[in-house]
Amino acid sequence: MRLNPFNPGSINVRRGGSGGGGMPGGKLGCGGIAIVVIAALVFGVDPAQMLGTMEQMNAGAAQQPAYSSESAMEICDDNQYSMETCNALGSLNQTWARRFQEAGVGNRFQQPTLTFIEGNSVNSGCGTASAGVGPFYCPADQGIYIHTGFYDQLAQMAGNGGDFARLYVVAHEYGHHIQNISGLAGQIRSAQQQNPRASNQLQVRMELHADCLAGVWAGRNRNLIEPGDFEEGMEAAAAIGDDRLTGGRVSSENFTHGTSRQRMEALRMGMETGDDNRCTNTYFQA
């Protein structure tokens, strides 16, 4: 995807995390914090430890991390992955700000903060998280958290190192930000509390909806799409489907993000239609 260089003044980006550098022990979560149980099964991470961390995050444990005072350009210029992610963030900001304006609610749009995780853990507005849980979004501080080492793992899982596979990950987490600032996430949390038995199904719908919103961003920037991008996105979506990750060791009732087929369908819908209303109607109005 031919992304334009970001405007340094148009994105909120920072570094955060503990010392130690690199992904911890090669153990990795694959697709965000809700996939913790799958990560435990697939990568051998201690589920009790990871779930304890996630409980802290859900409880909104207030922790103030120390961030550097570097400029956005200094942070983004670290390596190819960080620059690529910053360019994606700039494009996502422009695309979704314009979409909110089109919907007549431009005043509700707020940019997320992008934090590059360095070391083995990071303190977010949702609490402390291990770098091993993979990219995630924290609604408490409206922050997207990414360890760029995840991209190498994704390339191994998806079978390709294409840039669109990486951009899909960023756009998916941004989709959770859109769910948050639009009020949808709050509605779903209320529905989960009122009907705990439907909680897991609603979580899967949230993840598929975020996949669809990632596709919407790409669909609204068709002029930037390059040959092979669609295939790279499909391969990445398939690689991180619950059924693929668990190899049948987790029942479908306990899936958190959807099957490979479901994730591919969600991303395809967004890319082909460029219509976020179609995404919402499909996953929450049907």
Q: What is the mean pLDDT of the chain?
A: 77
So what's the pLDDT on residue 85?
94
Residue whose entry in the numeric block shows the structure tokens 């979409």 = 99
pLDDT at 130 over 90: no
User: If pLDDT is split at 50, 70 and 90, which confidence band does 206 have?
Assistant: very high
Contact 121, 129 (CB under 8 A): yes
> Residue 245: pLDDT above 70?
no
Beta partners for residue 50, in sequence order: none
Q: Which pTM does this prediction carry?
A: 0.80
> Out of 89-98, 107-116, 174-183, 189-198, which region has the weakest mean confidence (pLDDT)?
189-198
How many CB atoms are located within 10 Å of the residue 208 CB? 23
Q: Give the pLDDT confidence of 72-83 residue by residue, as tens digits.
A: 899 999 889 999
Q: Is the pLDDT at 55 greater than 60, yes or no?
A: no
Q: How many helices (H) and strands (E) does the chain have?
A: 12, 6
Lowest mean pLDDT among 46-55, 84-93, 99-108, 238-247: 46-55
Strands 12-16 and 121-124: unpaired
Tell me the domain boundaries of the chain.
8-284
More confident residue, 251 or 123: 123
SS in 3 state form for 133-183? HCCEEECCCCEEEECCHHHHHHHHHHCCCCHHHHHHHHHHHHHHHHHHHHC
Contact 246, 43 (CB under 8 A): no
Do 60 and 140 form a contact (C-beta atoms < 8 A)? yes
CA–CA separation, 107 vs 63, rounded Å?
29
Q: Return the higher-pLDDT residue of 148 and 176.
A: 176
Give which of 48, 38, 235, 32 is closest to 150, Cα–Cα. 32
Q: CA torsion angle for 141, 284, 251, 212 (degrees, to 10)?
A: -70
For residue 79, the SS3 value is coil
Read off the amino acid at residue 132.
G
Beta-strand runs (E) in the chain: 12-16, 113-117, 121-124, 127-130, 136-138, 143-146
The pLDDT-based confidence of 69 (bands split at 50, 70, 90) is low
Percent of the chain with pLDDT over 70: 70
Q: Specify the amino acid at residue 22.
A: G
Which of 42-56, 65-79, 103-117, 253-267 is predicted with the least confidence, judged by mean pLDDT? 42-56
